[in-house]
Amino acid sequence: MSLDLVDLAVRLPPGAPLFPPLTLSVAAGQVTTVMGPSGVGKSTLLDAIAGLLAPTFALSGHINLNGVDIRPLPAEARRIGLMFQDPVLFPHLSVGDNLAFGLTPKIKGRAARRDAVAVALASAGLSGLQDRDPASLSGGQRSRAALMRTLLADPAALLLDEPFSKLDVALRDEMRRFTFLHVRERAIPALLVTHDPEDAAATSGPVVRLPAPQPPR
Amino acid sequence: MTMTRDGRALRAVVMVVLAIGLIGPIMAGLAQTGRAAFGIMPVLGAVEASLTPWRDLLTEPGLWTAVRLTLWTGLVSTALSLMLAVGFCAVTHARMTTTSAARWLAPFLAVPHAALAIGLAFVLTPSGWIARLLAPVIGLDRPPDLPIVNDPWGIALILGLMVKEVPFLLLVMLSALTQIPVRQHLAAGRALGYGRGLVWVKVIAPQVWPLIRLPVMVVLAYALSTVDMGVILGPSNPPVLAVMLTRLFSNPDTTRILVASAGALLQGGLVAGAFAALWFADRLMRNIGLWWLRRGGRGSSAEPLLRLASAAVIALFVLGALAMAALLIWSFAWRWPWPEALPQSWSLKAWASPTAGWLRALGNTVLLASATTALSLVLAIVWLEGEDRAQRGRAGWAEALIYLPLLVPQIGFLYGLNILFLRLGINGGYTAVIWAQSLFVFPYVMIALSDPWRALDPRLTRAAASLGAGPWRRLLAIKLPVLLMPILTAAAIGIAVSVAQYLPTLFMGAGRVATLTTEAVTLSSGSDRRVTGVYASLQAGLPLAAYVAAFAIPAVLHRNRAALKGSSA
């Protein structure tokens, strides 16, 4: 399993590309970090890969997941999980139902699905919080629940959009370990964008630096 | 991209429905009215174009008084409402959140014009509450012989319009103000030596104006062409133009319809003229305002004027509340001699005796309100979802399209549309009434739902998409439940608008579809106040119940969902 970007470039017509064409390959179980100053288009890059790019942007190059070009597919068919800066749990659903929403439809039957959610909650240290309002969880609990929800969807690759930046320092380290452990366990490729060098160091994977944008002439 | 193609299909569906269902009828109705105004109406055997209807209209007794009264009541009530609302906003804005204000304003927005007008008549009339309360103070031994309601100067009508329009303008202004950094601008202005009132007039109001221009035009168009309020509170002979025309349209002598059609065009001309005047006033104020602003005068304090405006607004609210209370009290009153402040004896007779009457009207009203609101809500949601999927904002012409039915005077096209429905064979039935009412329900539902829909956190749907949820699951499992509160609020507004409709029900129902509103307006002219009180109470109670439900249902369903509690009403 791998995620390959070939000459990927995004631009806002008629402007120049946000960053030079990007070519990189992320292997299964590996976390590759893309670093760059804010405003360079890191989140836009992830939007492009996830299929969430606004139609005003123009995209060129290829996005291959396990050798298949996923560019023609809509976001929901790409099997690419996305973690945001905020957990973005659905406010109208309980914690358990948030996970159940994410859980892949391949797991069938009420009991089997309930068990899958319970197992995921337990592995994130959230046992017994099934029926809780997501708003009543602590920041760390919410982040773990969001990661579990993403993983239950059975993604073939994971995109991480500075998911640790809003956590306080003590939690940040724990959440990094927790996230990277699950990436290795699942053996899926993961792409992390950040401006925090500590994030990059913690991945023990390759680091790609995007240059600062050219000042417009 | 598939998202865009899907969005295009939805948008195409919406456009077709709007063209056939909304724009088509209005244009066709206007065309029919226009033809009839120039003597062509084949159903009546009139096939030759002529100017006779216009000649007859000009010799119609009282026409010019009617026109003068229409302009006077419409312009004065709108201008005063606007000034009072600005003054009230300036004083209370810092102390009120939009959500809590919306809750306060809800009863006044919910109560139909006709019910409020009837209640006001009960309060203002010489034998009404105010006179009763004043009687011991100023020593009256019998009701004063003054034409307070239906006064020839239209004061009662202006008051009635203001009680309804000030809350509406306040709501619109408060929601516009959320888009402006009021606090910072106020602080900056005061630090430069301008008083609070002057900062509002010179800095805040010019920023608010473009955001509320369309709603003000809606208010103006309504005030110039109201029929039900005109009948109940307005001058009686001659009445305002729209009332005069309604009588002409309903005249047993069908040739009068041609005259009425010419009058309907005149009514349209009055509204168009008022819009033009508003446009010129806008231009003029902009130039004068800049000249005034550049002089940099800190002037005298506008504070007393602001206080006066707020006091007047509070007085209007009290008057409105008294009016609603009067409806309920009269419906339960039995013996209530003058000058007692409350009835001497109470009775359920008014509610119990002609039971079948109000039950049938209530049933019709509920049926029409549910059908029109459901239709409008579905269309609004499909429209907004289409915008989301096409990932494109709303064009200016589409926004104008939504407001169109609220800007064209009803009397200008409804009778013409009625003739069209007659030809289609649906006139006098529920389909025709539902269709005609929806023309006015849909715009309000759409306007109410648009802002909260766009304010929905886009990350929720993006998160859902990256979890594998397709567009329909995103709509049904995420958007609609999260937006439950604003959707139900829009539904309540739709119900209130439907319940309040008088002219569409009267014309399209051909007198056969009796609703609380048509019955209440008929009863208001003179018959038993107790029975009128029953109909008007129900008429006011139905939309109020809808508002309460819109507030209570999400509160119960989302009682354990803290993040949804603060969402906008």
State the Cα–Cα distance between residues B388 and B382, nearest whole angstrom: 10
Interchain CB contact of B456 with A (< 8 Å): no
DSSP labels, B342-400: S-SSB-SHHHHTTHHHHHHHHHHHHHHHHHHHHHHHHHHHHHHHHHHHHT----HHHHH
Q: Is B457 on the interface with A (CB under 8 A)?
A: yes
% of chain B surpassing 90 pLDDT: 59
B411 three-state secondary structure: helix
Say yes or no: B464 contacts chain A, CB-CB below 8 A.
yes
Interface test with A, best of B466, B475, B560 (most A CBs within 10 A): B466
- Chain B CB contacts of A91 below 8 Å: 460, 482, 561, 563-564
Helices (H), chain A: 42-50, 95-102, 110-123, 139-152, 169-186, 197-203
pLDDT in tens, A59-112: 999 999 999 999 999 999 999 999 998 999 999 999 999 999 999 999 999 999
pLDDT beyond 60 at B3: no
Q: Which residues of B touch A105 (CB under 8 A)?
A: 468
Q: Cα dist. A45→A75, B168, B199 in Å?
A: 14, 45, 45
pLDDT in tens, B474-501: 999 999 999 999 999 999 999 999 999 9
Q: Which of B287-296, B381-390, B407-416 has the lowest mean pLDDT?
A: B287-296
Residue A129 Cα, gap to closest chain B Cα (Å): 13
Nearest to A64 by CA among A101, A27, A94: A27
The reported pLDDT for the residue numbered B419 is: 86
Dist. CA B519–CA B521, nearest whole Å = 5
What pLDDT is attached to residue B508? 92
Is 70 exceeded by the pLDDT of residue B401? Answer: yes
Q: Is A75 in Cβ contact with B465 (below 8 Å)? A: yes
Instruction: State the pLDDT at residue B568.
Output: 40
- Contact residues, chain A, for B558 at CB < 8 Å: 92
Amino acid at site A33: T
Q: What is the pLDDT of residue B300?
A: 64
Q: How far apart are CA B368 and CA B495, in angstroms?
A: 9
The CA distance from B559 to the nearest CA of chain A, in Å, is 10
Mean pLDDT of chain A: 91
Report the share of chain B in percent with pLDDT over 70.
Answer: 97
- Do B463 and A90 make contact, defined as CB atoms within 8 angstroms? yes
Q: How far does A78 lie from chain B, in Å, by closest CA?
A: 8
The mean pLDDT value for B87-100 works out to 82
A157 contact B CB<8A: no
- pLDDT classification of B186: cutoffs 50, 70, 90: confident
Residue pairs between chains A and B whose CB atoms are closer than 8 Å: 85
Residue pLDDT, tens place only, B270-322: 999 999 999 999 999 888 888 888 887 776 667 788 889 999 999 999 999 99
pTM across the whole model: 0.89
Q: Does B478 touch chain A (CB under 8 A)?
A: yes
**Residue B460 near chain A (CB below 8 Å):** yes
- H or E element, residue A160: strand A157-161
Chain A nearest CA to B280, separation (Å) = 38
| Confidence label for A187 from pLDDT (cuts 50, 70 and 90) | very high
Across the range B311-335, mean pLDDT stands at: 93
Residues of A in contact with B391 (CB under 8 A): 54-55
pLDDT on residue B399: 84
> Taking CB atoms and an 8 Å limit, are A92 and B484 in contact across chains?
yes
Please give the mean pLDDT across all residues of chain B. Answer: 90
How far, in whole angstroms, is CA B103 from its chain's centroid?
17
A138 shares contact with chain B (CB less than 8 Å): no
C-alpha span between B158 and B168 (Å, rounded): 15
Q: What is the mean pLDDT of residues A2-23?
A: 91
Which of B467, B487, B553 to mutate: most A Cβ within 10 Å? Answer: B467
User: Which residues on chain B are in Cβ contact (under 8 Å) with A191?
Assistant: none
Residue with tokens 């077709």: B16
B-chain residues within 8 Å CB-CB of A163?
none
Neighbours of A161 (CB within 10 A): 20
Let me know: does B316 contact B519? Beta carbons within 8 Å.
no
- What is the per-residue pLDDT for B567? 46
Which chain A residues touch B468 with a CB distance below 8 Å? 76-77, 79, 102, 104-105, 153
Beta bridge partners of A22: A8
Task: Please name the member of B459, B468, B558 whose beta carbon is closest to the beta carbon of A84.
Answer: B459
Q: What is the pLDDT of residue B355?
A: 62
Which residues in chain A are closer than 8 Å to B485, comparing Cβ atoms?
Answer: none
| Predicted pLDDT at A214 | 62
* A28 SS3 class: coil
Beta-carbon separation of A135 and B563 below 8 A: yes
Q: Which pLDDT tens digit goes with each residue over B439-481? A: 999 999 999 999 899 999 999 999 999 999 999 999 999 999 9
Residue B569, pLDDT score? 37
Is some CB atom of chain B closer than 8 A to the CB atom of A134? yes
* Complex-level ipTM: 0.86
**All domains of chain B in start order, with CATH:** 1-50+352-569 (1.10.3720.10), 65-347 (1.10.3720.10)
pLDDT at A7 over 80: yes
Distance from CA of A19 to the nearest CA of B (A): 23
pLDDT tens-digit profile of A122-165? 999 999 999 999 999 999 999 999 999 999 999 999 999 998 98
B121-171: pLDDT as tens digits: 999 988 888 888 888 888 878 888 888 888 999 999 999 999 999 999 999
Q: Cβ(B126)–Cβ(B146) under 8 Å?
A: yes
Q: How far is B388 from chain A (nearest CA, A)?
A: 11
pLDDT digits (tens, 9 = 90+) for B195-213: 888 888 888 888 999 999 9
- Which residue of A53, A71, A76, A158 to mutate against B (max B Cβ within 10 Å)? A76
How many C-beta atoms lie closer than 10 Å to residue B397's C-beta?
Answer: 7
Residues of A in contact with B464 (CB under 8 A): 90, 101
**Locus of tokens 């994410």:** A102
For residue A50, give the chain B residue with the closest CA. Answer: B466
Q: Which two tokens stand for residue A1?
A: 């399993």
Task: Give the pLDDT of residue B2.
Answer: 45
